[in-house]
Structure formats: C-alpha cells, structure tokens
Chain A
Amino acid sequence: AQTVTQSQPEMSVQEAETVTLSCTYDTSESDYYLFWYKQPPSRQMILVIRQEAYKQQNATENRFSVNFQKAAKSFSLKISDSQLGDAAMYFCAYRRTTSGSRLTFGEGTQLTVNP
C-alpha cells in the first residue's frame, strides 16, 4: 500500500521569507501524481500544486514550487516570499494514475507565518 509521510507537524516562517515543507512517500508504481493541498481555517481544501511522476521538470505555481526527487521518493514544497495568507495546514498527497484511484494523504504540516 502507498504511504505518505510528513515529518514536520509544525513549521513557522517570517513574512517575506522562504520555507520548505517536506514529504516522502512509498510506492512501487512508476507513474503517479503528487499533490500539495492547503487547508486554511475555513477548512476548504485548496490545491496548491500538482506533479506528474513521469515529468522530470519540477512543477511551479507562482510563489510555490516543488523539489521532486523520484528516486528518493521525496516531494518537498517551497514557498517563496511567504505571506500571512499562506498560514494553513498543508497536506501532501499521492494518487496512482489508474482510473478510480483515490488520494492518500500525509499527516499534515501546520504552517505559521509571523509578521
């Protein structure tokens, strides 16, 4: 079974600084999707960024980028120029590419942004 591990229950960063959230996963599949979701206090899960395993290039969305290391099964999220609105719970998630596959989530990392 696939597992996703986030080893940092809490992280903090100063406004305008950069922070990196860690995620490792375990799978025997060669093709799959990886995601970072953000959950603010409103509870609404928001997709931050997505990576397809067969793509070598790291995904980027504005201030958010990932460091995808397939061999090491590592998928970290870097947030640049942190803003107060980035404060949230962040979840790393994995999904196989086969139809009907479900998302498997990590434990989550609570990010605090200090003004």
Chain B
Amino acid sequence: DVKVTQSSRYLVKRTGEKVFLECVQDMDHENMFWYRQDPGLGLRLIYFSYDVKMKEKGDIPEGYSVSREKKERFSLILESASTNQTSMYLCANRKGGGEDYGYTFGSGTRLTVV
C-alpha cells in the first residue's frame, strides 16, 4: 500500500514564524496535494504538484508556498504564520493520469499558531 507520511501530528508555532509542513510518499506517484480542513468548510485545496519542480495554485494559496525538489517530498511553507492559519493540514498523493487511481491521504498535521 502507498503510504503518505506527514512529519508532525501536532504543531504549535508563534505568529510571524516560518513554518514547514513536510509530506513524504513511499511510491513513485506524480501528483501531490496540500489541503486545509476547517469545520464547516470541508477540505480546501491550497497547492498541488504534477511532478518535480512543478506546482499549481489551488483555491486558497494566499499566505502559503510549496516546494517539490524530489518526487517523494512535497513541502508546504507558511512564510510568516498568522493565527488565521490555525487549522488541520492534510497531504495527499495520486498516480498521474486521467483514470482514477485513487488518492492516499496522510494523517494530518494540526497546526496551532499563537
């Protein structure tokens, strides 16, 4: 089975800090995604990547950036954390192509910005 591992389950950061959320997959899948989950809003897409060094903005990219230097790792960066970025962050991956190969999700990182 494909595994998607998020480096931290819980994280507490201070306002203004630079925050890195790491996501690593153990398969050679092209597509990787970062979602943010908030009560009443479901999951909203922040950024996604089709392949190494490629990235696309999702629905709510403001305040975030991403990095994908290697195929297995997709990092979400909060350049200057703010309290409104307190949320659950979920990483997911998927094999490329139009067919539905299924998504695999990580277990999430609950980030609190104080």
A residues apposed to B, CB below 8 Å: 4, 6, 9, 33, 42-45, 47, 50, 52, 91, 95, 97-108
B residues apposed to A, CB below 8 Å: 31, 33, 35, 40-45, 48, 50, 58, 88, 90, 92, 96-98, 100, 102-103, 105, 107-108
B107 and A44 within 8 A (CB): yes
Minimal Cβ-Cβ distance residue in A for B103: A103
A6, B31: Cα distance in complex, Å: 26
A47, B102: Cα distance in complex, Å: 8
B98 and A43 within 8 A (CB): no
B105 and A97 within 8 A (CB): no
A42 and B48 within 8 A (CB): no
Q: How many whole Å from A45's CB to the nearest CB in chain B? A: 4
B100 and A105 within 8 A (CB): no
